[in-house]
Amino acid sequence: MSMELEKFEYDNSIVKKFIIVTALFGLVGMLVGLIVASQLAFADFFNDYLLTKYISYGRIRPLHTNAVIFAFVGNALFAGVYYSLPRLLKTPMWSKAFSNINFWGWQFIIVCAVVTLPLGITTGKEYAELEWWIDILIALVWVVFGVNMFMTIIKRRERHLYVAIWFYIATFVTVAMLHIVNSFELPVSFMKSYSWYAGVQDALVQWWYGHNAVAFFLTTPFLGLMYYFIPKAANRPVFSYRLSIVHFWALIFLYIWAGPHHLLYTALPDWAQSLGVAFSVMLIAPSWGGMLNGLLTLRGAWDRVRDSAVLKFMVVAVTCYGMSTFEGPLLSLKSVNAIAHYTDWIVGHVHIGGLGWNGFMVFGMLYFIIPKMWDTKIFSDKLANTHFWLGTLGIIFYALPLYWAGFAQYFMWKEFTAEGYLAYPNFLETVTQITGMYQLRVLGGTLYFVGSAVGVYNLWKTAAQGTFLPAEADEAAPLKTIYAAKKGEHWHRWIERKPVQMLVVSLVVVAIGGLLEIAPTFLIKSNIPTIDSVKPYTPLELEGRDIYVREGCYTCHSQMIRPFRHETERYGEYSKAGEFIYDHPFQWGSKRTGPDLHRVGQKYPDSWHFKHMRDPREMSPGSIMPAYPWIIEDDLDRSLTLKKISAMRTMGVPYEEGYEDYVYAEMDEQAQGIVDNLANDKVKIDKNREIIALIAYLQRLGTDIKNQNIEE
């Protein structure tokens, strides 16, 4: 048997590049987060001094989420994979060119996001806001990453695929599937497209995507990194490799079904809701199995946690993972969800995951990799400690006030007086009640941000005092090309040895969940009870709706009234699936920083909306909503209206043939009606302004069935 060792080198420079952008975009993303948090906590200040459309809350809140998820955590994911994968396989990455396309392509996508989102160019689907051509770029770059990873696996010198690599494979396969399915959209122009799906379907696909983006972008790759870096930092193998196998298969099978728990008590079909709940509850088992596996790896070595910044960060990260994966199933129980949904509890929950699990895993990993690659020690243990404590306190000060705010607001929403009226009929009262909590949250965010800045400084100084090793030599025996299966060898060896089989099996496992969950909703197109009085939007309303999407109104306002007495009392008739069949994309929202808008149509006069958009405080003193003067000043761009109508028709919205001939005339007529209404209330405005279209849309919302006698 020839055992001649082959010499090769690991490419550290690609890891270095990804590390630099991870740190940079991490700080930027957190800073944007601080700004949006401050906009809620100090609304008057922003309205008085910093009122510009480009940093309006609804536009930069998606910038924050995209930046921290895809730029910060995404680049860290690539850094971690490009560092660990070659070392686990004893071979360099397959192609330096592909590694670099992956790097520059991803950064280009981030720049596109940074430019388009503040400009209001958005698809209006949470965590998938980027427009169609950026979606295509994402798919291409992701495939480049996947091909590079697979070719590396094929060229490996280590026969076994360590469990971390399974997690990487599942990440690649599932994110590709989710992204492609969720991004079906019909372009109207370079900067505008409509989701192919409408209403209930769109919601289901979106949250199937949204939840699994959490699962397969923020969780599985980091579990892979956990299985690599914790054993390395503790210098001992993982607690139970058997458990890690069960962890892997159970997790990827269960996660994919859990999406509908984001839509409990909505117009989503009951069976899908129940399925989502059942699988969410079951998820606690593999999640905690994984958490315990990570923590127990340190059994008998806990003293090392005291001295190792890497372990400190990772222990808190894994603990936060345990907390949020306990909280997740809890929140998906219908009774708990009834309280938490639409409140700040959810925001607190995701930040335990984001700041604790992802953020601390990333920094733990950086504290490990950078001293290795620069052949030195951490510049200052003291600063690392400072970073650790600021971060930990930051997480606590971030989450606790939001838990408080969530409960406080829910109990105010649902409180009735002895006479049977809402105790707080004015939604605003429930908001002003919790602004103190919003301010505390800013404090928490600031602590975390300052901690991260200290960390980045420390890592920078670490690199500066060392010498960068662009390539790291290693040697290993090649794999024999023909491998004869040993007699009696277990069948799973077949999968484990062959990465392509692994990919196929993982894809099948996640696709089953996806298909069984989503397919029925596609079959029901004709079964969503259509309501005769629900008609397509008029062209003016459609344009108004696009303004609503552009300004990210969905980041604070839901359009989904749940069938609870306190909601129907406050907002009106609860929302029906059949009301959304023309909504491309759906705008149900997931957070009520402001009131639900589904039945806002005809509730107030046109002039109320006009004044409210000009300055919300004029109509609702104390409101924290930003003013939208540009909607009043800017003319409506009608150049795409005809294309929009025909795009909608392509997607099945029943605009009659030849409608284009009198679209503009109809728009003018409807606009004139609103202008006249406004004039009666002494508001003079040109009929071509954006505000007219927006008012048309808002006044239409939820009115189709308002005067309907719905039969039981």
Partner 1 sequence: MLKFIKGHMASIDGIEIFPLITLVLFTTMFALVLVWVFSLKKAEIDEVSSIPLQGNDN
Q: Which residues bind partner 1 (CB under 8 A)?
A: 84, 87-88, 90, 158, 160, 162-164, 227-228, 231-232, 235-238, 241-242, 245-246, 249-250, 253-254, 257, 267, 269-271, 274-275, 372, 472, 474, 490-492, 509, 512, 516, 520, 523-524, 527-529, 563, 576-578, 710, 712
Is residue 286 within 8 Å of 246, Cβ to Cβ? yes
Give the nearest distance from C-beta 236 to partner 1 in angstroms. Answer: 8
Q: Which is nearer to partner 1, 418 or 523 (CB)?
A: 523
CB of 607 to partner 1, least distance (A): 34
Cβ atoms of 434 and 409 closer than 8 Å: yes
State the minimum distance, in angstroms, from the CB of residue 500 to partner 1: 19
Q: How far is the CB of 99 from partner 1 (least distance, A)?
A: 19
- Smallest gap, in angstroms, from Cβ of residue 286 to partner 1? 10
Shortest distance, position 317 Cβ to partner 1, whole Å: 17
Residue 57 CA, chain-centre distance (Å), reads 17
Cα angle, residue 109 at apex, residues 106 and 34 outer, rounded to 5°: 100
Q: Which is nearer to partner 1, 487 or 682 (CB)?
A: 487
Smallest distance from partner 1 to CB 680, Å: 37
Q: Which is nearer to partner 1, 84 or 287 (CB)?
A: 84
Q: How far apart are CA 517 and CA 269, in angstroms?
A: 11
3-state secondary structure of 480: coil
Name, in order, each residue with C-beta under 8 angstroms of 319's C-beta and a sequence gap of 6 or more.
291, 295, 356
CA–CA distance, 397 with 103 (Å, rounded to integer): 35
Name the token pair of 70.
């895809």
Residue 299, classified by CB atoms within 10 Å of its CB into exposed (0-12), middle (13-18) or buried (19+), is exposed
| DSSP annotation of 416 | B
CB 490 to partner 1: min, Å: 6
In the complex with partner 1, the residue whose CB is nearer, 269 or 594, is: 269
Nearer to partner 1, 466 or 605 (CB): 466
φ/ψ bin of 573: left (φ > 0), alpha (ψ from -120 to 50), beta (otherwise): beta
Tokens at residue 98, please? 């592909």
Indicate the residue among 149 and 577 with the shorter CB distance to partner 1: 577
Min dist. Cβ of residue 212 to partner 1 (A): 16
Distance in Å, CB of 577 to partner 1, minimum: 6
Q: How far is the CB of 486 from partner 1 (least distance, A)?
A: 11
Q: Tell me whether residue 310 or residue 355 sits nearer to partner 1 (CB atom).
A: 310
User: What is the rounded distance in angstroms from the CA atom of residue 563 to the CA atom of residue 18?
Assistant: 47
Extract the tokens encoding 338.
């009834």
Closer to partner 1 by Cβ: residue 254 or 597: 254
For the CB of residue 170, give the shortest distance to partner 1 in the complex, in Å: 14
**Closest CB 599 distance from partner 1, rounded Å:** 15
Distance CA 85, CA 228 (A): 9
Tell me how far CA of residue 689 lies from CA of 22, 59, 547, 550, in angstroms.
Answer: 42, 20, 12, 15
- Residue 254 or 540: the one with the smaller Cβ distance to partner 1 is 254
State how far the Cα of 382 lies from the Cα of 587, in Å rounded to an integer: 48
Kindly state the tokens that stand for 345: 């509890």
- Say if residues 537 and 194 touch (Cβ distance below 8 Å): no
- Least separation in angstroms between CB 387 and partner 1: 23
* Integer Cα distance of 205 and 272 in angstroms: 12
Q: Please identify, using beta-carbon distances, which residue of 275 and 553 lies nearer to partner 1.
A: 275
Least Å distance, CB 308 to partner 1, is: 13
Residues in the chain, overall count = 712
Cβ atoms of 374 and 352 closer than 8 Å: no
Are the beta carbons of 156 and 121 closer than 8 angstroms?
A: no
Q: Where are the beta strands (DSSP E) in 97-227?
A: 185-189, 192-195
Alpha helices in 469-538 (DSSP H): 491-497, 499-523
Count of C-beta atoms within a 10 Å radius of residue 487:
5
User: Which residues, listed in sequence order, are joined to residue 419 by a DSSP beta bridge?
Assistant: none
Q: Kindly report the CA angle at 192 between 22 and 589, in degrees rounded to 5?
A: 70
* Complex with partner 1: residue 83 or 397, whichever CB lies closer: 83
| Residue 547: strand pairing partners | none
Peptide bond into 585 cis (omega under 30): yes
Q: Among residues 224, 433, 455, 283, which one has the least CA distance to residue 355?
A: 455
Query: At its nearest, how many Å lie between partner 1 and the CB of residue 701?
Result: 18
User: Of the two residues 500 and 508, which places its CB atom closer to partner 1 in the complex?
Assistant: 508
The residue assigned the tokens 């989710």 is: 178
225 vs 613, which CB is nearer to partner 1? Answer: 225
Dihedral of CA 239/240/244/247: which sign? Answer: negative
- The residue among 67 and 264 lying less far from partner 1, judged by its C-beta, is 264
User: How far is residue 668 CA from its own chain's centroid?
Assistant: 39
Q: Is 255 or 610 the residue whose CB approaches partner 1 more closely?
A: 255
Reduce the secondary structure of 648-659 to three states and give it as a string.
HHHCCCCCCCCH
Our CB check for partner 1 shows the closer of 234 and 675 to be 234
